[in-house]
A and B are shown apart, each in its own frame.
Chain A
């Protein structure tokens, strides 16, 4: 394709395809990245980087500053790394109110402080009016890996149990509601740092792999795991926790909750022997009280795909979403 489209940034199949193309220059030289949420570096550190263009910048449950920190922290956390150091880059539109910018910095600092994370590096650029919309944040985060056995997709195997840490789609629904001017009772983005909830799980040998659900939601993570490993993932619609407010927004706007963005929800794969312990531990954490087992990896067909037992007891496939579901969601 000759130009980049919004679909390429949507988090679904098109995003994967564009990333593959963009990484080609690096891969050909043997210096390309692993395709996990954060990279495990030699020397015991993990690293991630993330951009934030969310609109609106303030949404029910958070703002772009808080989101930036949480997004980076969660990418590290799912690879078993503690949030220690943050690098922050801001690209600011000429004329942007400093008061608003300070609010976002305050937000980001408060979140870092709660986690014991230090701002180690930063940069700001100001561009002429119209060159960006308001302000965009980029974050990079570093932290020590706190687990000897790496958490990675290649650990996944048949019989592994699939768990979500909380009800899905709250961030996407909150943004959609704000975009379409819907007033929704009780709807807040799930934007939150997951490190405190996930850290206790790192002691468990049977923990296989974790992934931060962001753009493209739960469905995208499961499809990526299935396609990368060639395994078959089987989930049950009835077991997926979805809040009433998220369901309502999806009903009204015609969205599928499976693909609604999350910003404080992880998918976890674990050996069957410690699945219950994972659930019990998660449920002790204030953010993961509704953690649930949603399915398992099986030896069955079709390999490389995700199937779901539906509410009425039928079966259907879950594919990657495509197109610009909701641009500037995170």
Chain B
């Protein structure tokens, strides 16, 4: 429902798209919608109801909140206990750690605040020079350059009471893992449009060229998603595997080099633990040594805490497209948005949260 409106030239025709899909789609097509926001948009816009029965969508690990390891949440919560102000994107607030969540800690009187931008943390640090302000940096390559730019600005302004706890992660290593998984037989990838704005086409080419799986970069409006889903169905029909983009308005093949430069200036790759998936080498972003003054891990001597997720939680299988939420025994019974067991239920882009809201088992619209 963007105010910008639908592009006129394209004569976007969703009914025609639905019919075309009926005509194109073979008996079965299994596409991974990598990004959680795609999952939610597909439900919310009603696209799900327009897909032919053979078109199966599975969710991927593209929800940065959902893949934040429980130990990472507990590390963040421990920072609150030091009396620091913790600012984080709203979506992080209800994610459960072992001892509670940002939301519950705020309820106990600890100082956790919602940020809509990394700059909120910087401004808060300037306004409160007597408090330590920490920004909880979560997100993929769409978001990491913004965090980096904020750190550079903080350095320019010589701010001393601000640091960043980086849980930023990189998308391509996770996709590499999924594309190599023999148990998942995917007919295509619907790739996150906004990560691609930063990275361009290159890091995703391997999916088609080496793994032989069609892939399309698409934005998040209904016309974009439908275009992407149709392109994947067409590729399968033609027996080809290419990397395409339907988001040419925003994604240059070379991406945004300036944003990448800024991101690379501040961050370096390191291993990271993805909730439900485990350790993926080179998949996390950590502040470089020269930015140690802004690194909350160093400032507060934080040790990584081990995650102890609920034994029944199957977020990992959800995030890797092995099962859908209704197949998790905790779904709707012990795990609900009100009392979530895992982050997939709690995040605004979480697959389980999306299914909970939009998919009902009795006569519901899938």
Contact = CB atoms under 8 A, between A and B. Distances in A.
Interface of A: 3, 5-7, 13-14, 17, 180, 244, 247-248, 250-251, 253-254, 256-257, 301-302, 305, 307-317, 319, 322-324
B365 A319 contact: no
Nearest to A320: B357
Contacts of A3: 107
Q: Which 10 A-B pairs have the closest CB atoms?
A: A314-B46, A310-B46, A312-B14, A301-B363, A302-B363, A314-B49, A315-B49, A322-B337, A319-B357, A316-B46
A159 B262 CA distance: 59
B358 A313 contact: no
B358 A319 contact: yes
A243 to B, nearest CB: 11
B359 interface: yes
B45 interface: yes
Contacts of A244: 3
Nearest to B12: A312
B48 interface: yes
A314 B45 contact: yes
6 contacts: A5-B107, A180-B116, A301-B363, A302-B363, A305-B360, A319-B357
B107 A317 contact: no
Contacts of A313: 14-15, 18, 46, 50
B358 A316 contact: yes
Interface string B182-226: 000000000000000000000000000000000000000011001
Nearest to B353: A322
Contacts of B365: 307, 315-317
A312 B104 CA distance: 39
Nearest to A314: B46
Nearest to B336: A322
Interface residues of B, number: 34
A248 B109 CA distance: 33
A317 B357 contact: yes
A299 to B, nearest CB: 13
Contacts of A7: 338
B364 A317 contact: yes
Contacts of A250: 1
Interface string B89-128: 0000010000000011001000000001000000000000
B291 interface: no
B286 to A, nearest CB: 28
B2 interface: yes
Given A253-B116, A311-B222, A323-B94, A316 B2 contact: no
Contacts of A314: 14, 45-50
B337 A316 contact: no
Output the residue of A14, A314, A322 with the most chain B CB within 10 A: A314
Interface string B329-353: 0000000011000000000100000
A308 B48 CA distance: 13
A117 B48 CA distance: 51
Contacts of A13: 337-338
Contact of B358 (A317, A322, A323): A317
A311 B362 CA distance: 24
B250 to A, nearest CB: 16
A324 B50 CA distance: 32
Contacts of B357: 317, 319
Nearest to B365: A315
Interface string B47-61: 111100000000000
B308 interface: no
A248 B3 contact: yes
Contacts of B44: 256, 310, 316
A295 to B, nearest CB: 15
A10 to B, nearest CB: 11
A180 B114 CA distance: 10
Contacts of B49: 314-316
Given A250-B1, A307-B365, A14 B48 contact: no
A204 B190 CA distance: 53
Contact of B47 (A307, A309, A312): A312
Given A314-B50, A317-B357, A317-B365, 16 more contacts: A5-B104, A13-B338, A250-B1, A251-B1, A251-B3, A301-B362, A302-B360, A305-B360, A310-B46, A312-B46, A313-B18, A314-B48, A315-B49, A316-B44, A316-B365, A322-B338
Nearest to A250: B1
B95 to A, nearest CB: 12
B364 A302 contact: yes
A256 B226 CA distance: 21
A251 B3 CA distance: 7
Nearest to A7: B338
A251 to B, nearest CB: 6
A13 B356 CA distance: 13
Contact of B337 (A6, A310, A323): A323
A311 B45 contact: yes
